[in-house]
Amino acid sequence: MQPSKERTARSPGPDVGFWQARFDARETPWDRGGINPQIEHWIRSGALRPSQDADARAVSGDDARLTRVLVPGCGSGYEVALLAEWGFDVTGVDFAPAAIERTRNRLRALLTSPRGSRMMRAEVVEADVLAYEPELAFDAVYEQTCLCALYPDHWRRYADRVHAWLRPGGRLFALFMQAPRDGARTGLIEGPPYHCDINAMRALFPGTRWEWPKPPYATVGHPNGLNELAVVLVRR
């Protein structure tokens, strides 16, 4: 995936028009063309479960509550559909109309397939993730390519939103994009995707607000030649 030239829109960085144009032109090198294998691993290993554990049920007062998962910057919606199929109560958010259309079409196709169920709980919201304020807190946030698509000036605000979206004890299932570039040595900010250096991530998601697991962390390869660090953080 070749880095895009630095932009000044959206104070600054890529705006909705930038992403819409990418979808319209089918220039989406960040798109795997399918589900990220790491989220399937998290689900199959039990790290991410469709129904809440005893502690979470006690907090919610609902003995049969489904796990509420938010997918910010949901893009083509592969993971939104996967989570719906597994029985999660999932919400996908994106501000590019083309992404919303793709995700909704994917959910419609799933609903009419043998794997689908009319009991599926899925919502798709067209909104800016930096301004999105849901009525209820989520149990989990799946962060894949949203953070690395935001200009670094917006990272602090985004991290604050992620913290606000989650209930205490909720989990952030993060895939931090590793996209180091030589230009950083001279102060250039190149992207998207923007490099999510682990030191920057520790500063962005500090231990006072998040419980971090001990490294090393799993590395997930991407078809574009980059890698992602898979980390699960617990909201304090």
Domains, the chain, ranges and CATH? 36-70+82-87+132-235 (3.40.50)
Q: Look at residue 64 in the predicted model and tell me its pLDDT.
A: 55
Phi/psi for 193 (5° steps) reads -75, 145
User: Is the confidence at residue 27, as pLDDT, over 70?
Assistant: yes
User: Is the confidence at residue 219, as pLDDT, over 70?
Assistant: yes
Q: Look at residue 218 in the predicted model and tell me its pLDDT.
A: 98
Number of alpha helices (DSSP H) and beta strands (DSSP E) in the chain: 7, 8
> Which has the higher per-residue pLDDT, 49 or 2?
49
> Which has the higher per-residue pLDDT, 96 or 12?
96
Q: Tell me: the pLDDT tens digits for 62-90?
A: 545 799 999 999 999 999 999 999 999 99
With H, G, I as helix, E, B as strand and everything else as coil, classify residue 177.
strand
Q: Look at residue 7 in the predicted model and tell me its pLDDT.
A: 37
- Reading phi first (left if > 0) and then psi (alpha if -120 to 50, else beta), residue 207 is in alpha
User: Is the confidence at residue 47, as pLDDT, over 60?
Assistant: yes
Q: Look at residue 56 in the predicted model and tell me its pLDDT.
A: 52
